[in-house]
Amino acid sequence: MSSLKVHIVGASGSGTTTLARALAPELGAIALDSDDYYWLPTQPPFTDRRDRALRHQLVMADLEQHPRAILSGAIIGWGDDLEHAFDLVIFLSLPHDLRVSRLRARELARYGRINEPFIAWAAGYDEDPPTSPTRNRRRQHEWLGERRCPVLRLEGDLTVAERVTRTLAQLSPVTR
């Protein structure tokens, strides 16, 4: 089985982790999540950032260890060698109101409460001019244009099965 590295990006709540987990068994790959590298394990979660160099080192080690890997989540600014380590980048996009609604539901299901500062930050992804210098639609589209590998754009409220089907169709039979 050949090596395959896929990176799935999109705004928070667009389904990157869900798609990675659904694709992994189809491709004989491991699903990795950028949040596991970006954030230190804390209670409550997502409060302390891991050192940039260490997160880069950890994700590179996992990508090297696993010939077939799918990384979900943003890595903009982690270093060119990581940003260009993929055979395919998938960009997911949902309508703003649907995405924010799903984020609110996810927060309630996971934590029993809604983290309003997080929701406000995540909702700002679509704003123009951007409110965040790196995590915004405009910067993500620029970043996608800089990729050396193919970029598959899956936009709209597609089911997970539809996203998996379109991704598998994009990958050549040799790669799969």
Q: For residue range 135-148, what is the model confidence (pLDDT) as tens digits?
A: 789 989 999 999 98
Architecture of the domain defined by 4-170: 3-Layer(aba) Sandwich (3.40)
32-87 residue pLDDT tens = 999 999 999 988 888 899 998 999 999 999 999 999 999 999 888 776 678 888 99
> What pLDDT, on a 0 to 100 scale, did the predictor assign at position 77?
77
99-119 residue pLDDT tens = 999 999 999 998 899 999 999
Distance CA 173, CA 48 (A): 41
* Strand duo 151-155 + 88-93: pairing: parallel
User: How would residue 158 be classed by pLDDT, with cut points 50, 70 and 90?
Assistant: very high
Beta strands in 11-157 (DSSP E): 30-33, 68-72, 88-93, 151-155
**For the chain, domain boundaries:** 4-170
Q: What is the mean pLDDT of residues 156-160?
A: 97
Distance CA 175, CA 51 (A): 34
The answer on pLDDT for 174 being more than 60 is no
* Strand duo 30-33 + 68-72: pairing: parallel
Please name which of 158, 170, 24 lies closest in space to residue 90, comparing C-alpha atoms. 170
* First-to-final CA distance of the chain: 8
